[in-house]
Each structure stands twice: as C-alpha cells, then as structure tokens.
Amino acid sequence: MSVDVAELRAFYDSPLGAVSSRAIGRVIHRFWPDLRGLSVLGLGYATPFAADLGSACERLTVFMPARQGAVRWPCDRPSATALVDPLMVPLADGSVDRLLAVHALEAVEDPAEFLHEIGRLLAPAGRAIVVCPNRRGLWARMDSTPFGHGQPFSRSQLRRLMSRTLLVPERWAETLYVPPLRSRFVLSGAGAWERFGAALSLPFAGLHVVEATKPVHRPILVRQRRRLRYGSPILVPAPASPAAG
C-alpha cells in the first residue's frame, strides 16, 4: 500500500519527520561516506536525503512510484524526479552505481520482483541501500507515520528475499528506536533513544537499513518477466457485411 506523496512531504516537514530523516541520513552517510564520481538513483521517496547525496555524486535521479505520486526536486534547478513503475524502471541494465530505496519495498506488490529490478539496475559491484519497516518495531504498528503502511519485514525475511534475487546483504543497521510520538518531550530525547537502543542492540527499532551488493559474476536466473497489465488491445465491433441478395 503506497502512501500519497502529499502525506510523505507533510510527514518529513514535521518535527517527527525531521527526527526520522536525521536518523536515517546518519546511517546512509556511514555506509556511503564518499559518492564522488558515482551515479546514484533514489527509488520511492528519497528526496529528504537527496540533498546530501547529490552534493558529491556525478548524477542523482529520484524515481517515484506512479501510485504514490511525485514532487519536484530540486526546486531551484531542473527537476530530477520522475514517475515510474518501480518494477519496470526505464533505465538500462547496470546503469547506476548506488541505489537508495526508501518507502519502496514495503509498498510494492511483489517485493522479490522489486529486488530483482534493483539488481538489474546496479552496475557490477554496485551497492544498494534498502530502508524498510521492522516487523518487531513500534513504527510498523502505528499508521500515524508512513512507516506504518505496507508490509514490514524481519531481518530473516529480508535475507531470504535477497538470497532469491542474488543481492548479497553486507551491512545491517537498525534505527528509529525513539517511539513514533509527536510529543516534544519524547522528540527532544531522540538522540538518547538512538544511542541507548544501538548500544544494547534492542530488537524494537523502527527500521531496517540494509546495504547489499551486486556480485560481479552472477548465475543467470530463468524467470518470467513481469508484463504490463495495461495497454491491452481493445476490440472494436465491426459492422456485419451485407447479406448477399
């Protein structure tokens, strides 16, 4: 289930959304400290993190699912966003070096096919970061935030999914230990919540952040390609030929 883009933008403009973007952004920067000369693609709703990513990389594009809707980004330059089908992205095989998927995996109708598509888009030895709700966390249980919509995952489920798609998970992080409450008192202590939860490896973090790589040499999978459900021919009735007199 996709969240409307207007709701996503409103969430990240709120104090709770700002806390979320900072927590996720810290993990992204830890995994990808240097993006100089690399082609980066954001899938889902990656604009809250795009400014930091785009300051160093060679090229940054953000593709948003058609069911979600898109916003213009950046506002002061030609837009780098587009509406796409996340299971059939209009880019060539191996065309991106880094891919960030946020508000994407939990919303697609076929998570395995989505991860296949990520693997197709990545260049050999390319890397992807997938951010998705933790099944055991509070954020997946409350629909007052965008992370409470769609399908949450456990770590073991993500491992199985990625093994089927031949992406190799290399680094894991959990974030958003702070409860998803809009209380000013709770939000003021968000940093302490994050440090405490990470130090003890508590199981109720709101999000999984997984970095996966695409192996240089991969076996060829035989699988049926997804086909568009639209664009089928419409049969127009034709008048009957006149009867022979």
At residue 7, the pLDDT reads 95
SS3 state at 175:
strand
Q: What is the CATH number of the domain that holds 172?
A: 3.40.50.150
- Is residue 22 in a domain? yes
At residue 230, the pLDDT reads 44
At residue 30, the pLDDT reads 95
Are 68 and 1 spatial neighbours (Cβ–Cβ below 8 Å)?
no
- Is residue 234 in a domain? no
- Is residue 229 in a domain? no
Residue type, 113: E
- Is residue 237 in a domain? no
- Is residue 223 in a domain? no
The pLDDT profile of the chain, 245 residues, written as one tens digit per residue, is: 678 999 999 999 999 999 999 999 999 999 999 999 999 999 999 999 988 887 778 899 999 999 999 988 888 888 899 999 999 999 999 999 999 999 999 999 999 999 999 999 999 989 999 999 999 999 999 999 999 999 999 999 999 999 888 799 999 999 999 999 999 999 999 999 999 998 888 888 999 999 999 987 655 554 555 554 544 444 445 555 555 44
At residue 127, the pLDDT reads 96
Q: Is 244 exposed, middle or buried (0-12, 13-18, 19+ CB in 10 A)?
A: exposed
- Is residue 242 in a domain? no
Q: Is 103 exposed, middle or buried (0-12, 13-18, 19+ CB in 10 A)?
A: buried
Q: How many domains does the chain have?
A: 1
- Is residue 44 in a domain? yes
Q: Range of 49's domain?
A: 5-213
Q: Can you give the pTM of this predicted structure?
A: 0.86
- Is residue 219 in a domain? no
